[in-house]
Structure 1
Amino acid sequence: MLLFLSIAGIFLSLLLLYFNAKKFASTTYLGIFFFLISLYGLYQYILLYSKSVTLISLFLFNLSLFSSPVYLIGPMLYWYVRSVLTDDPKLKRSDLLHFIPAIIFFISALPNTFVPWQEKVEVAKTVVSDQSYIMVYKATLLSEFLSSATIFLTRLFLVLGYTIWSIVLFINYIKKRKSSSVFSKQQFMKKWLCYLLGFMLILVISQLFMVSKSFEMHFPAIFFTFNIIRVISVVGLVGLLISPFFFPTILYGLPRMPERNEEEKDNRLTNETKPPSNSFESDYLQSIGLKSDSLMKEKQLYLEPECNLGFFSRQIDVPAHHLAYYFREIKKQRFNDFRNEWRINHAKSLIQEGKANEITLEAIGSLSGFSSRNAFITDFKKTEGVSPSVYASRFN
């Protein structure tokens, strides 16, 4: 079961990363999170159940590659939850601190990688015949200062800490929902995060109990005698891996229309026997287009130098990945091109009013929201087919 779940989880995470990493940055954290969880499960299976000398030799002596990434499970979960709540997947400089535990373990485990193969095989044979040998075997330089139990439990306590941190972050968001709008068009995301964090909490607590007890008893016995804890752990892992299939929109970033009020529902049910399955989505996407054009026209947001997708998302009160989906799939245009069209039209209006006779073209580009002269000229030629100077000569 553990082997099957681990392989399935790795397969799921690779699909998630392949299809979504470039489109939805926050999904990258989720894909890596699932991959590391599955890798940890595979590592656990090989050491405890496989009885394969070759596999144990590979995994036990390459902890720098197979075990140090486990320290990133917590950060990936936290970054994913934070990016969903803030609609901003970018890492900050302070986020580099989250890599420190993984780097420390990687460095401490690296020398063990270069042990002669025959010695690796001998240790693996010992582990196969007596799994309690893992308790005393010094696999890393940290083993000189810390007990094996401390090293094993540190990983899980770190994951538990990040899980609790993510839960607190989510609860604080729920409390302050009136001052935030990232879920305004995707209420289902609340349920998804509840499932994700809930199953993760079940999994990490059950694993903590199993590992801590295993160092109190005969090491392998815990994985065969405490059946209830094993079942709870499997439930947490299964729930974690299959939960995305109940919320497919979180995998592909597809927007969904919020629930209509009761009166609208009654009218819809009265006038339609069976509405199209994508009616909510179509209405929602259409509303994004109308709202985008209206806001650009009324507030002239394109004049703001920092007018990017994230900035526009906050102003229009629509999640950034919904906007990205709208411009890519519906409008067939990048947001920057959409914004620059408004900027070019504004510059053309200034030129037509005779401003080119009063100020430089570079100043006109700056007044239209462009950050540099080259950007103004390049985008103007791309849109109009001629340079700003040629266009302005028509109105001298």
Structure 2
Amino acid sequence: MTTVSDSLASLLLYYFTIGSLVQINIVNITSESEVESSKRKQEENKEIYERVSKEIERYMVEEKAFLDQDMTLKTFAKRVGVSSRSISKTINEMEYKNFNMYLNHYRVEEFKTLIESEKYQKYSNTALAKEAGFNSRASFYKNFKDIVGISPSDYFESLNSDAI
């Protein structure tokens, strides 16, 4: 009887050992294929990101979409012909928090260009902000300070003190 139980114990030990080794190999094979799949997906995402970012930048610069005070991610996506999800992901990759921050970055840069132009010297900051695409004074001031680090008035004063 002991021989039978010893044989059975040995057989079970052998079964569990072989089973464990086979399972480890299956896990390793799965992990390697998952890694390869992940690498391919990353390459595809990188290509998509580069294509979408070029299209977004092109449209923003050439069409000056940021000047539209009612611009939303959805309307921008329709105009560019890219899904709003792809645009949003791409903008996040570009180190902007979201579409509105991206849009406001361009608006602030437009404001800075306008404020230095002789044509717009007689305009108030609020009027220039509207020209740059902002739809409210409060939005303009908040975003300008967030992006540039100083208020629009301080920025204007620094331009005037540099000119002297």
- Specify the TM-score bucket, using the shorter chain as the normaliser: 0.5 to 0.7
Question: How far apart, in 1, do the equivalents of 2:121 and 2:46 lie?
Answer: 47
Given that residues 354 and 395 in structure 1 are in contact (C-alpha distance below 8 angstroms), is that contact kept between their aligned partners in structure 2? Answer: no
User: How many angstroms apart in 1 are the aligned matches of 2:95 and 2:158?
Assistant: 32
Equivalent residue for 2:91?
A: 327
Question: For 1:333-369, what per-residue CA distance to the aligned partner results, in whole angstroms no more than 9, with x for missing partners?
Answer: 2111111000000000011114563111100000000
One-letter identity of the residue aligned with 2:40: S
Q: Classify 1:355/1:393 alpha carbon distance in 2 versus 1 (closer, same or farther; 3 Å).
A: farther
Describe the superposition over 1:80-115 as per-residue Cα deviations: whole angstroms up to 9, x where unpaired: xxxxxxxxxxxxxxxxxxxxxxxxxxxxxxxxxxxx
Q: 1:342, 1:315 → 2: CA distance? A: 17
Match of 2:101 among 333, 337, 350: 337
Alignment of 1:1-396 (within 5 A): 277-278=40-41, 279-328=43-92, 330-333=93-96, 334-354=98-118, 357-396=121-160
Bigger CA radius of gyration: 2
Q: Distance in 1 between matches of 2:121 and 2:69?
A: 24
Q: Taking structure 1 as reference, are residues 395 and 367 closer, same or farther at Cα in structure 2, changes over 3 Å only?
A: same
Deviations 1:316-341 (A, max 9, x none): 1101112122223x223211111100
For residues 374 and 355 of structure 1, do their structure 2 counterparts lie closer, same or farther at Cα, with a shift above 3 Å needed?
Answer: farther
Cα 1:355–1:361 shift into 2, 3 Å: farther
For residues 141 and 120 of structure 2, the distance between their equivalents in structure 1, rounded to whole angstroms, comes to 14
> Do the aligned residues in 2 keep the contact of 1:343 with 1:369 (CA within 8 Å)?
yes
Using the alignment, how far apart are the partners of 2:142 and 2:52 within structure 1?
Answer: 28
Q: Which residue of 1 aligns with 2:4?
A: none
* Aligned partners of 1:356 and 1:392 also within 8 Å: no
Aligned residue pairs total 120
Query: Structure 1 unaligned runs (5+)?
Result: 1-275
Contact 2:65–2:71 (CA<8 Å) still a contact in 1? yes
Distance 2:116 2:81 in 1: 34
Distance across 1 between alignment mates of 2:78 and 2:49: 17
C-alpha separation in 1, matches of 2:118 and 2:90: 36
Question: Quick one: distance in 1 between partners of 2:84 and 2:120?
Answer: 36
Residue 64 of structure 2 aligns with an amino acid whose one-letter code is: Q
Bigger relative contact order (CA 8 A; separation at least 6): 2
1:282 and 1:385 map into 2 onto residues whose CA distance is 32
Q: In structure 1, the residue corresponding to 2:144 is in which secondary structure?
A: helix
Do 2:144 and 2:151's aligned partners in 1 also have CA atoms closer than 8 Å?
yes
SS state at 1:370 partner: coil
Q: CA deviation at 1:303?
A: 0.2
**Residue type of the partner of 1:361?**
N
Q: Distance in 2 between matches of 1:296 and 1:395?
A: 26
